[in-house]
Amino acid sequence: MHETSLIEFTLNAIQQRANQMKIKEVKEIGIVVGRLAAVPELLQTAFEIMKYDRPIFYHTVLHIDYRDIYFQCMDCNEKFTSDTYARAVCPKCKSANLERTSGEELYIDYFIPYE
């Protein structure tokens, strides 16, 4: 499953960083996920299973900042959101000359250790 490898990648990166900083337990993790990048429910489920493999994450809460798909029209500059990537057209001028400005994000925003 795509989401499982994403969570594994995230936990690996944070654990490595936490080790360097001599952090014993992580309290919160914040990730930013675009609608096109992954399904948030599956990320959350994968996280709830995988956190118990590593003591550093036993009590960690995962926050997902879920980003919608946004486009900007290259003809009239209209900005709008769309549920689908395919067949998107500008609602104002019907142009298909669009640039996606959000929806593919996938990165670790922050993590907070226990004091």
From 2-10, 44-52, 58-66, 75-83, span contacting Zn ion (CB under 5 A): 75-83
How many other C-beta atoms are found inside a 10 Å radius of the C-beta of residue 41? 10
Complex with Zn ion: residue 32 or 89, whichever CB lies closer = 89
DSSP state of 4: H
| Rounded distance between C-alpha atoms, residue 29 and residue 2, angstroms | 19
The reply to whether 93 sits near Zn ion by the rule CB under 5 A is yes
The reply to whether 92 sits near Zn ion by the rule CB under 5 A is yes
The reply to whether 78 sits near Zn ion by the rule CB under 5 A is yes
Q: Write the DSSP string, 65-89.
A: EEEPPEEEETTT--EEE-S-STT--
The residues that touch Zn ion, with contacts defined as CB under 5 A, are 73, 75-76, 78, 90, 92-93, 95
